[in-house]
Amino acid sequence: MTGDKKAFPVVNDKFVQQGGRLSPDGRWIFYSSNKSGRYEIYAQAFPIPGGIRQISIDGVSGSVGNWRQDGKEIVFQAADGKMMAVEVKLDTNSIDVGIPKPLFQVPGPVSGSRFTMSADGQEFIIPQSPDSSDRPSMTTVLNWAADLKK
């Protein structure tokens, strides 16, 4: 961290931005925003904002994402649950974005909007939210000490 070390907005508009992730070299950031009417993945230069590039395209909206460790790919979960990969070429002042390609279907929502992958992007750890039918029931007993005296 350099400079005056004061917090500043990276994106400052009326829409919701979430899930920001810095590129491995720290010069780019991608995030999810609903400015198109649905959540899409966008990237821009960091810390000095530059032109914003939309990463998710052709009706493939996205929310949860991560950089591959070498910075040559962004992986994100599309609205239909597929994990998508997009090749990117980073330069100091520009980012070239490929076409998102499906990797595999995730059988449910990603828990807590997080996942991680191996450095080469070939193996994933994806925490999943259980369906409500899979959740064990829990019983809370109040004033249980009084029942012991009976």
Stretch 50-74: mean pLDDT, rounded? 79
- What is the pLDDT, as a whole number, of residue 124? 84
Say yes or no to pLDDT of 144 above 70: yes
How do residues 2-21 score in pLDDT, each as one tens digit?
677 788 777 778 888 888 88
How does the average pLDDT of the chain come out, rounded?
Answer: 80
Amino acid sitting at position 17: Q
Judge contact between 54 and 41, C-beta under 8 A: yes
Say yes or no to pLDDT of 66 above 90: no
- As given in the structure block, the two tokens for residue 150 are 């009976």
- As given in the structure block, the two tokens for residue 15 are 């829409």
How confident is residue 109, by pLDDT bands cut at 50, 70 and 90?
low
Domains with residue ranges and CATH for the chain: 17-130 (2.120.10.30)
Comparing 13 with 102, which gets the higher pLDDT? Answer: 102
Of 64, 60, 71, nearest to 23 (Cα)? 71
Cβ-Cβ contacts under 8 Å for 16 (sequence gap 6 or more): 33, 34
How confident is residue 132, by pLDDT bands cut at 50, 70 and 90?
very low
**What are the DSSP calls for 57-107, one per residue?**
-TT--EEEEEE-TTSSEEEEEETTSEEEEEEEEE-SS-EEE---EEEEE-S
